[in-house]
Structure 1
Amino acid sequence: MLDLAASLAARGDSALSTRHWVQAVRAQALAGTGDIGGCQKALDAADEVHGLTGPAHNGGWLRFDGSRLAEERGTCYVELKRPDNFVARTPTR
Structure 2
Amino acid sequence: MALSVEHLLRTADTMEQALLAIENQGNRDDVFFDIYRNAAIKSFELSLETAGKLLRKALKAYGGSPREVDKLVFNDVLRHAGKHI
State which structure, 1 or 2, has the greater radius of gyration over its C-alpha atoms.
2
Could you say whether these structures have the same fold, taking a TM-score greater than 0.5 normalized by the shorter chain as the test?
no
Range of TM-score over shorter length? 0.3 to 0.5
